[in-house]
Amino acid sequence: MIEFLDFYADWCGPCKVMEPVLEEAESQFSGKVTFKKIDVDTDNDTSIKYGVMSIPTYIILKDGQEIDRFIGAQPKDEFFSKIQSHLS
């Protein structure tokens, strides 16, 4: 199973912009990808564990190992393509 980590903060503008894209991704990839939101302000330990320095940061894990990472707001098609590329 693929796990998708979304590092965000409530005050982050680009994070807010990406919210509808993430909601659509959760729906589209339901059963194939587990999505987890991590608030960097309240879960600092996880942010440090993954070396998150800016937000939004998206990390894709497979079998607990990081296989991809991208930072910042993304066009929806590119965002979905990155996730899809790890499902085949």
Residue 82 near residue 57 (C-beta atoms within 8 A): no
In angstroms, the Cα distances linking 77 to 29, 51, 81, 84 are 14, 26, 6, 10
Which among 5, 12, 18, 59 is annotated as catalytic? 12
Which among 5, 15, 59, 61 is annotated as catalytic? 15
In angstroms, the Cα distances linking 38 to 66, 79, 87 are 16, 18, 22
Encoding tokens for residue 20?
């509808």
Active site includes 12? Answer: yes
Indicate which residues carry an active-site annotation: 12, 15
